[in-house]
Amino acid sequence: MKPFGHVRLVLLTALALVCGHSPAALAQKPAQPTADHAALSAAICPIVYPLDQSPSDRGFHYTFYGNGFFINNEGYLLTAAHVLSQLSDAQPYIVLRLPMAPPRLLKATVIAIDRDHDVGLLRATPNPFEGRYQVRFLPLTVDRPDRAQEVLAAALRPSRLRDPHTFDAFVEDRPAGQVLEYEFSQLDKGRADTELLLFGHDVLLGDSGAPVVSAKSQAVVGFVEGRWLRANAASIATGMKQPSNGVGAAVPIHYAIALLQQQGVSWQMAQGEERNADSAKESAPGLYAPVLLSLVAAPYPAQALQGGEVVVDALVDRDGQLTDIKVVRGAPPFVEKVLSAVRTWSFLPAHAHGETTETRVGIIFQFARPGVLPGNSSARHYDQPPADSSDRAASPTFATELQASSVSPAEINVMLSADIDAQGGIGEINILRDAESLGSSVAAAVRQWQFAPGRRAGANCDSTMIIVVIPGHGTMPSHAQSSGQPRALLQ
């Protein structure tokens, strides 16, 4: 095995654009977690592999690979998958501290890995929260931090990086800076696109897998992926002065939440988000209304010279996962980008009279044509869905090409949801994410659309439609890609 003890490099060739959990997570109300400095220090732990069977006067000799952090009091922790990949098939361990005693090594079982988005889920055994260890866990937030918002990372690394032992002191890194931009990139050649959070601070050797916390919510918004090599790209995109202390890249917690939901692992929401989720869940007990927790858009395909559209009908199951995804309309290369994105979305499941239930939702992605001027958008007519009794979401019968192509490359996509009633009428429209107030104009345009109502158990029903507008820029939309090297590491 090669010692990791280094930062993964995120390599680009060009510039590009643009958090669910199991129902058990809402029921978990342990002692109040916080993301203050003491809690951060107690929540992070080095991921290592012991090199000897018995300790010396400096404790156990080990190889250091990176960081992880606890996300609940059941001993589950998150890290970057590439940290674990350096161990091959060896058993990972974590170093934990005890009051008035030397640090100890504890086994960490790998529970699940999302290699596309570089997420690793582990569980410490035995559960350190049931022992005398100095451990805390951190809340996660489904709120995506805006550009210029302050974030803080926290990581531990051994003071003797080349020859670490458990009795040696740890050095704590706390890179802090503003969110610069979000970029899509392939973290490995042939993998799905991952949206990365770029923040204005360099990250150091061994920081990979460490939590990145929002100064606003005091909750985890992502984890360290590595050092962003094309720092000037982030500056150009945002119009900000080139950060003198480098640029770090983090994987948004969105992808980790999707993995937690798939595994049925509970996690704690940030303070205030729990109340909002409970309120949304109970607002209309007689309606089938899933609540979208965490979503990501999709990159504009690099090879696409014109716009495109993808319409999807999908099932939100009783665990809040998006399953049975059916493409109603769309063509390559847009379909592949959309499917890759929506498979990571997370919901609170629909409910009826206090019981969770499954229901279908409609999803529309519009990839705007580059250079389309206001007033030149085209109208689109769709075939009526078949008159059968099969369950389905509402579907558009008439729509217009939404005007988002005037957005600058530094802006994010427009994302909103619309309630479609049992007659096909448009009810409340919620702006989920917009670009410099463009969401209101997009919402006004959507109100002119027409829909066929959804169907459930042989009858028309209320349904939810999620609409994502992705701006196109110039004749060749920009796109971030990996360099083709599967693991470019800083030695």
- Rounded Cα gap, residues 445 and 65, in angstroms: 51
User: For residue 246, is pLDDT > 90?
Assistant: no
What's the burial of 275, exposed, middle or buried (CB within 10 Å: 0-12/13-18/19+)? exposed
What's the fold here for domain 283-470? TolA/TonB C-terminal domain (3.30.2420)
Structure tokens at 237: 């995109």
- Rounded Cα gap, residues 384 and 451, in angstroms: 9
What's the pLDDT at 453?
Answer: 95
As annotated, the residues of the chain forming the CATH 3.30.2420.10 domain(s) are: 283-470
**Average pLDDT value for the chain:** 82
CATH architecture of 8-258: Beta Barrel (2.40)
Mean pLDDT of 43-62: 94
Going by pLDDT thresholds of 50, 70 and 90, the confidence category of residue 379 is: confident
**480 vs 172, more confident:** 172
Give the residue carrying structure tokens 């002692």. Answer: 31
- Rounded Cα gap, residues 45 and 138, in angstroms: 12
As annotated, the residues of the chain forming the CATH 2.40.10.120 domain(s) are: 8-258
CB 439, CB 271: distance < 8 Å? no
Going by pLDDT thresholds of 50, 70 and 90, the confidence category of residue 477 is: very low
For 257, 365, 433, 481, the CA distances from 415, given in Å and listed in that order, are 19, 9, 5, 24
Give the residue carrying structure tokens 């996962």. Answer: 321
- Rounded Cα gap, residues 177 and 153, in angstroms: 9
For 137, 143, 214, 247, 351, the CA distances from 178, given in Å and listed in that order, are 24, 16, 10, 10, 39
Adjacency order of strands within the sheet including 379-381: 379-381, 395-400, 450-452
How wide is the angle at C-alpha 359 spanned by C-alphas 357 and 361, nearest 5°? 150
Going by pLDDT thresholds of 50, 70 and 90, the confidence category of residue 21 is: very low
Q: pTM for the full model?
A: 0.86
Going by pLDDT thresholds of 50, 70 and 90, the confidence category of residue 274 is: low
Residue from 138, 142, 90 nearest 257 by CA: 142
Going by pLDDT thresholds of 50, 70 and 90, the confidence category of residue 22 is: very low
SS (H, E, C) 127-157: CHHHCCCCCCCCCECCCCCCCCCEEEECEEE
User: For residue 276, is pLDDT > 70?
Assistant: no
